[in-house]
Structure 1
Amino acid sequence: MAALEFTLQGTDPNSKARYGLIKTDHGEIETPIFMPVGTAGSVKAVSQQQLKEEVKAQIILGNTYHLYLRPGLDVLEAAGGLHRFNGWDMPILTDSGGYQVFSLAGNRKLTEEGAIFQSHIDGSRHLFSPERVMDIQRIIGADIIMAFDECPPYPSDYTYAKKSMELTHRWLDRCIGRLAETPDKYGYTQNLFPIVQGSTYTDLRKASCEYIASKGAVGNAIGGLSVGEPEEIMYELTALCCEHLPVDKPRYLMGVGTPWNILENISLGVDMFDCVMPTRNGRNAMLFTSKGVINIDNKKWEKDFSPIEDGIDCHFSQYYSKAYLRHLVKAKEILGLTIASVHNLAFYLWLVKEARKHIQAGDFNAWKQEMIPVLKTKL
């Protein structure tokens, strides 16, 4: 068992973009990377084989809140952890459940001890404390586990944002303490990433980065963005955080975002991303491509027999035509959801792979400026 290692392999001369390699006990992850979201132990409509062979995913996410409620810890522990339960033998990251708990604003109570909430499944009451969340993530068995934090809503006033950030910091100390007194499970290392908070206030963000950095964790996350604030504010705060988080540790921007968001944030120094957008939008007929955004529901694609996308390394994108996918979507055939989701995820993984290539070549910034207007085009 070895703690997560990050090797920074190079940087772009005209931006803060960088590429590197993360090593975990379940394999290596090339950065910058996009991580498909498998909330309840499954990336919606996509099999683990498709994630490996078509999407080329290197790491996927699970969610503590959802997995805790269903299938439950007894099932996951009996299986030997999430890797064995879902058959994914590569790295897994688990979100702490903080975002899900705090999105249940009407069904939860926040205290110093933790968050008391009602299950969205059966209304039963539960307590998530920092200690409990660490224990739960131990049992789930992810390679990277997230600290329990409060994600304040946007907008938040300064007083609330400051109190929330300070609570997140106190909870982080309790997370660290709990992990120190409990062993890894299943024979491999579980690595904690703290989360920067502070809403949209630059002084709070700076203070949070400094506090998080002082803990010496193997990686760090930026939370509380992409929650409704304008893109310009997200970029400003991400840049600030990247300036104050350690250079030699991976930086994970949680819940972001569109293809253009990802390229902009790579240029600011972010290494890791996740978002439900490629699968959720895919299930709702929106495709992301290297030439722009397609609403496959539109009649203009009815007799377009060209591939969905022939420039990326995905058989689904190359084999199925736009006309056929449109037919499946209109007919509400389940296969349509799978093809659209696999394609969008494969496109996201292609995009970060291209970003790595251009950072290595030293022309990332010029490529990014050329790509972003194209990616935003509605076809």
Structure 2
Amino acid sequence: MKKLPWVVLVSSLVTLTSFAQASWAETGELSVSSIPREFVVGDPGSINTEITLEIFATTAAPKVVVVEFIDFYTGEGGRSQLPSGSTPYSLSNVLEIVPFANRHPGGGQERFLVTIKPKADYKQQLFTGGVVVRLDSVGNQGEGVGSTSSILRSMTVTPYGLVASLEEANLLPAQVIRHDIHRLERSSFIDSILPDLPGIVNFGPVESRVTYTNPGEYPVFSELSWAFEHGGEVIANKSLRSSLVSPEQEVQKAVTTQVSGQAEGSQLNLLPGLGFVSNKITLTSSLGGTELPVQVFDGSFLVLQWKEPFVGIIALYFLVRWAWRKNLSPRQRQETATLIGLGVQTFLRGFKRRLRGTPLGAPEQVAKSSAPALAQAVPQRPMYVPPGSSYPIQKYPTPKP
């Protein structure tokens, strides 16, 4: 089998990353369900032997729903769209669109179900292109792709068992070539001026950035997932959708250890206040329903807010050294010892707060009681009533002089 040309591979990859990121695509008149990025045909064990497009069309005037294939071409002038069947790798050479009642009478919303199924005969090779859904006015050809009422979906079709016909040495799984941990926040001014130590995070959250490549001569579909663990428990995980990786192409993906908080615009850090965190990265690759060897990258880093205590210890050292050399009076020695003791207490208090995941530079949280509860906790002074009074106590209480 001949290798897929670079032109088709690059154009397919660009299209796959530019369209169909959401489950539904919408315009002012159309809403179209998603299609798989890779569709495997001829798999005897698969229950998904066809693709069903669900289309909702809304228009006031009578129109027709058009569903068709297109091809892609990338040259010096950029990417262009070609009529279906323009390349040997066109989707029309492996798939067919089942005819359907495509007329919209106008005056509201109509639902259409379109079936796309494999042809009986096709070559053992990759096919790539796009599926266009658009609304045409009755009696003309419409505006075509790029109009305000058209939606483009991209996909790659792989015959089942294609891997068996390829040269095994030239079909390789995607491999991780670089992994970096980047901090997203700084805990204090000291944290911002002192350099970070490799493998140590002074204060979270962090971004895990992975770069991987396809070292083989055939494209593969890869899926990347992260798992952050601390104390034997998973504290954060994330998986990205499968994407096509061309030969020798480098792809960079990243995730963070932040989640949205309850308050609008707030972010919560999932990392612990102190301890080791393992970062397991799993990269899977497949082609035509054949799973290639899984690539696993195990890394770890230490969460330890060391910069502020380090500066404090250095300052304390010079203070003690200065006090030792000076001929201080007993009162001055007592004041110096008190200052050193306060510094040690501050360090221990900050260390305990760090275990709770609070940065050393953050203000202390003060517990507040509600006004009614506070009022109930304050004892009331008894009232004094003069002897011989004839009025009720509840009506005329008088404080005792």
TM-score, normalised via structure 1 length: 0.25
The answer to which structure has the higher helix fraction is 1
Of the two, which has the highest radius of gyration? 2
TM-score by length of 2: 0.24
